Each structure stands twice: as C-alpha cells, then as structure tokens.
Amino acid sequence: MRYLGLLLWVLASPTVHAQVSNAFIYQGVLDQSGSPASGEYDFQFELFDDPDFVAGMSVAGPVTVMDQPVATGNFAVPVDFGMDVFGIVDLWMEVRVREASSSGAFTVLEPRQVLYAVPLAVHALNVAPDVVGGAQIADGTVTAADLAPNTIAAASVDSSALQLRVNESCAAGSSVRAINSDGSVVCETDPGGDITSVNAGTGLTGGADAGAASVSVDFSQVQARLQAQCPAGQLLNGIDASGQPLCQAVPFPATSTVISDPPGPVGSYNTLLIGNDGLPVIVFLSQSPLGVVVVKCNDLACFGADETETLVDVDAGSGGIAAVMRSNGLPLLVYRHGPSDSLRVADCNDPACSGGDEAIHTLVSGLEFGNLSMALDNSGLPVIAFRNGSQLNVIHCNDASCSGGDETSRIAAPSVGFSTGGGSRSVALIGNDGLPLIFIDGTVDFSSGQVRAVKCNDPSCAGQDEEINEVSAFSLSGAQEFTAIIGADGNPLLIRGDDSVSSVELIRCATDDCRFLDPPETVTNTGALALSAILSPNGHPMISFCAGQTMSLVSCNDSICAGSNESVAALDDVCGYSSLALGSDGLPILSYSPGEPAGLYTKVHHCATPICR
C-alpha cells in the first residue's frame, strides 16, 4: 500500500498563554494509492540531525500519535518533542503512518521534512538583560540545581540578610567569639586552667597525667550500696563487696513449743518438712477430728501460737501418712482414705496447704494399704512404697503432682514377709544411681521380723525382678524398730532401736544394695524407739529417739557413729512419734507427739546449738 504526503507545519501561538507550550500542530495532505485518504490513522514522528536516512542520528522521539482523523486527505496532528530539542540548528523530521486498525509496521514518508531554526522558536536561548527580575520569579522555583557553579559571587549576596562563609580561624589557645558579616571572625583567648593531672585517692582507681582521665570506685575498699534485704525470719549479718546482704536466721533459744492441742489425740505419722523459706511444715494424723493435718510455722521455733493449721482431708490418714517437700516449696501428701478404701495424694498449692482448695487425687483403690513411705527421684517425681497384703507395691508418679489418674501401682516384691495384721514399716530412699531403694520389715505387733532391702533396677520397680537382700545382722525382735538414710558416701545407713536394752545401733551398707554390711556400731545405750535420722551439714548422722519418756537427740562425730563417743542431748521430758530436720539456720528442729499411739498435742523443739547442748 502506498502513501503520499504533502506536508507542512505550524507552531502553536505563544502570545495568549502565560507559559509557552512545547507542542506544535503538524498539518498535511495524505494520499493512499493515488487517492485522498479518509479515516483514522496512526502517526509517528522522529527528529534527526541530517536528512540522510543512513547518516542521520536521532535527536528526539519517536513520538506516536494514535487514531488521528484524516478527511479527504487533510490532517492536523499535535506533536510534542519536549522543551530541550529546538535550538539554533536545523533539524529534519521523519514521518511514519499506518491505518489505525493495523498493528503492523509504520510506513516511512519520504523525504524527511526540514524544521528551520527561527527567532521566535518555542525554546528561547537568550533573554535580554534586566527583563527578568525578582518579581518575575516565583518563590522556591530556583534551586541549587538550577545554578551553575560560581555564578553567584560574594558581591551579589546581601550580607545583611545572609551570613557569608566563614573565611578565618582562631589561633591555638583562642576560640571564636563572633562572626562578622563579611565572614571574618572575632577571637578571644581561652581561659587558662591549673589541672595538670588526675590522681585516684583511697577507694578509687584510674586517673591520668594527660588527655582524658577517669576514675572509678574500688569496691575492695569501698562498700557498695546494699542491693537487697534479708527474708522474713533472718537478720542482716554483713554485706559482701557487691552489696548483697549476708543473712542469718534469727537466733532462738532451745525451745519446745506446743503447736497443736485439739480435744483428741494428734501426732501419729509425724513428718517434719522444711519449706523454701527455711521454716518448718509439720504433717501428722489427727484422731479428733480424724484427718490429715498440716501446720505451717512462721518462725523457726513455731513460737507464738500463731501458726497456720489446716485440716487437709477428713476421714483420712489412719493407714499411714507420708509427705515430701517439692522443689517449688509446696508439700505433697500421700495417705489412706478410709471411707473410699483408696490411696490418695493431696497436691498442695500453697506452702501451708490452706484455703480448702488443694487438689486431691486418688491413686489406686481396693488394695490393702499400709506402711507408707515416699521419696522424690532425681527428676522430682514421687516414688511411693506401701504394703498391699504381704506384697510390696511401688507407684512411680509420672508428674510431680501424681495427677491425671494415670499412675500405675506395680508389685515390686511379691512376698516379703509383710503381715496383714500391721506393725511393719517401709522406708523409701533414692540411691546414688537414681533408682529406688526400699527397706521393709516383717515385724507384726512387736513380734520378730527381718529387715530386707529391695533394690529396684528401674525407676518404677517394674517387672518383679528387683534384687531383694536380707540385712542379716539387722533382724528385729521384741520392742524394736528401724529407719534408714543415705550416708555421705552414697551408701545406705540403717539405724535400729531396741527398747529392751535401751540401745541405738547403726549399720553401714558396704554396697548400695546392702548385699554386704559393715559391722554394727553402738550409737548410744540410752534410747530405742521413735527413731528419725538425717545427715548434718558435715555429713554426720543425727538421730532422734525416745530414751524412756525423754525425747533425745544424738549427734555423731563421724560418718558412721563409730567409737561409742557420740554427743547425746535430752530435749524434753515427753516423747513420741518424731521427725527430724535442719532449719535455715543449720540447727536441728524436731517435731514429736508425746504418748503412744499418739498424744494429745504435737510439739516442736528448736535447738540452740548444732548438737542441741
């Protein structure tokens, strides 16, 4: 298809607008195949610096104008190459055309059309002097980018309105005091000083003879500010270098205090615990009313008759009570509940088990419960041992509260000489290997019995394949009882009381399963029953016992109470179920209930010295 164009162009008029347009109107006549064209056409325009199609370089464009009407060959098209195109040289415009409905290539119309430079061009290169003044320039329209370097000289600046650049500096030892309008400065001499060095005196470190100097406090000579206070029940004994208080428990004289005195007997299955505050928590059975009782003391001696006493569960505890203090400072109690014939756990949610909102969980029902004992394994999970007929059963809880109803009671020893008549006891310990070690005896109503060590080979004592060893040198006969603890070397220590000869003996197991034993040591010849034992801070056993009707305490001077030269102290002229612990002051505390099977009250004795003498 062939196009023929007769072309001419006209600039837009600059006289009636405040701002000259960059566009111009391009007019012409377009023939198509020898006849005037009609319809809509697309036009494309591009400027070159030469009319030659090979040598010419593009200067601007292409500019495409779409869908322009053409009538009997005539057209007028606006073209805008921008404001920076036209200058003082001629340019040649190439025109291309195609039908508006076509997406094909444009057809180039030859030849290129010359555009001459004229005095009234759209882009004026020069302005007559003083034609443009400040009134003709809008504020903010001239920026630094519009000014060529060095086009504004100092003489052009009104120094009464603008500060000329500072062109001077002050000499050494002087400082700028003011800046003149011409950029010069007014200087003044720096004031002199007489500091030649900074030296650190007593209690300080640092200093310097030149340059920057700093000093800091030497806390090896100066006491830091006190950072904390002592907890309740303790006194300030000193302050360390960092400002932390050194506290000690409020000293109490040797004191025996009645903490519970209801109308009926109390104190059976007495267990003394120490809370995270270092103060005693006593758990025992009350006969009137029947139930498990917790007393939380607010001082080391439980003095002042203002302790918190709580009946945790009623009609409970007659088959035995065991209690432990968990790492969170909250007691956990396990006991038999008579009406439901079940083994229960009381999960206390405060240190005093108060408020009547403790969680009570039933572990197992329908068994013959007795001789309860409990220990916490190395993960803080309870291990509960109890007699079920002639069997030893163990429950290893899978959480610290024994909750969820998913605990399992396992037979650790199918026949260990227990009698359904009662009178036996069990002591649950955790060995150095983290596995349970349970001591049991077959004593029934003070008849003869044999102490046995059941060493579990897994944390739950499962499989009925535990190792059972008879402690042959430790049989019980007559009015005898025993207890056990883990010694300082990690091996068990068994303590036996014999009321018939008023003696207390200790046997150290040579192995952790008590398969082999050391010879017995006579601890004292002044007592026998109501045994309780702990290790002192130096690893020596401390044993509470009844010497006749006198509550007594023996403090051993070595790890196995050898030499028959231990220190024995008489604490009170009444005696009964006892439990021994160390308070936050490191001194022994003993809870006990006079009488048998239980007295009318429960007492606490706080020792004034490590050996209660």
Query: Tens digit of pLDDT for each residue in 361-371?
Result: 998 887 776 77
Is the pLDDT assigned to residue 534 strictly greater than 90?
yes
Tokens of 315: 């009609």
Question: What DSSP letter does each residue of 150-206 carry, written as one string?
Answer: T-S-GGGS-TTTSPPPP---PPTTEEEEEE-TTS-EEEEEPPP-----EE--TTEEE
Tokens encoding 508? 């150290």
Q: What are phi and psi of 607, to 5 degrees?
A: -80, 150
Spatial distance between the Cα atoms of 374 and 365, rounded to a whole number of angstroms: 18
According to the model, what pLDDT value does residue 11 have?
A: 46
The least confident of 123-132, 144-153, 446-455, 486-495 is: 123-132
Percent of the chain with pLDDT over 70: 79
Strands across the sheet containing 602-606? 255-260, 602-606, 588-594, 576-582
Tell whether the model's pLDDT for residue 197 goes beyond 90.
no
* pLDDT for the residue numbered 213: 76
Tell whether domain 255-606 is in CATH 3.50.50.60. no
Mean pLDDT of 118-126: 49
Instruction: Please check the confidence at residue 533 and state whether its pLDDT lies above 90.
Output: yes
Cis status of the peptide bond prior to 62, with omega within 30 of 0 = yes
Looking at 105-109, 139-143, 287-291, which range is the least confident one?
A: 139-143
156 φ, ψ (degrees, to nearest 5): -85, -10
Pick one of 3.30.410, 2.60.40, 1.10.8, 1.10.150 as the CATH number of 3-115. 2.60.40
Residues of the chain with CATH 2.60.40: 3-115
Maximal CA-CA distance, the chain: 147
Helix residue spans in 227-381 (DSSP H):
none
Q: What is the pLDDT of residue 287?
A: 78
**DSSP secondary structure letter of residue 375:** E
Q: Pick the closest to residue 431 from 543, 513, 494 (CA basis).
A: 513
pLDDT at 119 over 80: no
DSSP codes, 323-348 = EEE-TTS-EEEEEEETTTTEEEEEE-
Rounded average pLDDT over 247-256: 64
- Round the CA-based radius of gyration of the chain to a whole number and report it: 53
Instruction: Specify the residue for token string 């009318």.
Output: 600
Query: Between 228 and 194, where is the model more confident?
Result: 228
Tokens of 135: 């009134």
Mean pLDDT, rounded, for 560-569? 88
Average confidence (pLDDT) over 251-259: 64
pLDDT band at 447 (very low <50, low <70, confident <90, very high): very low
What pLDDT sits at residue 417?
55
Q: What is the pLDDT of residue 444?
A: 43
Check pLDDT > 60 for residue 19. no
pLDDT score for 16: 41
- What is the residue-averaged pLDDT of the chain? 80
pLDDT of residue 262: 64
Query: Cβ of 139: how many Cβ atoms within 10 Å?
Result: 6
pLDDT more than 90, % of the chain:
24
Better-predicted residue by pLDDT, 161 or 288: 288
408: pLDDT strictly greater than 70 = yes
pLDDT at 302 > cutoff 70: yes
- Say which range, 261-265, 455-459, 574-578, has the weakest mean pLDDT: 261-265
Give the lowest-confidence range in 271-280, 345-354, 462-471, 475-484.
475-484
N-term to C-term CA, the chain: 129
In this prediction, residue 30 carries a pLDDT of 86
- 1, with CB counted inside 10 A (0-12, 13-18, 19+), is exposed
Which residues touch 600 (CB under 8 Å, ≥6 apart)? 261, 264, 265, 266, 594
Residues 6+ apart with CB under 8 A from 31: 3, 4, 5, 6, 37, 73
pLDDT in tens, 56-84: 888 888 999 999 999 998 999 998 887 77
Higher model confidence: residue 201 or residue 160? 201
| Token reading at 55 | 């040598």
**Residue 276 — pLDDT band, cuts 50, 70, 90?**
very high
What average pLDDT score do residues 7-20 get? 47
Secondary structure (3-state) at 577: strand
By the 10 Å C-beta count (0-12 exposed, 13-18 middle, 19+ buried), 137 is classed as exposed
The residue written with tokens 């160390």 in the block is 582
pLDDT score of 479 more than 60: no
Q: What is the mean pLDDT of residues 2-10?
A: 51
What is the rounded average pLDDT of the residues 208-225?
77
Q: How far apart are CA 138 and CA 19, in angstroms?
A: 13
Residue 308 tokens, joined: 């918190």
Least trusted range by pLDDT, from 21-30, 333-342, 534-543: 21-30
Q: How confident is the model at residue 489 (pLDDT cuts 50, 70, 90)?
A: very high
Where are the domain boundaries for CATH 2.120.10.10 in the chain? 255-606
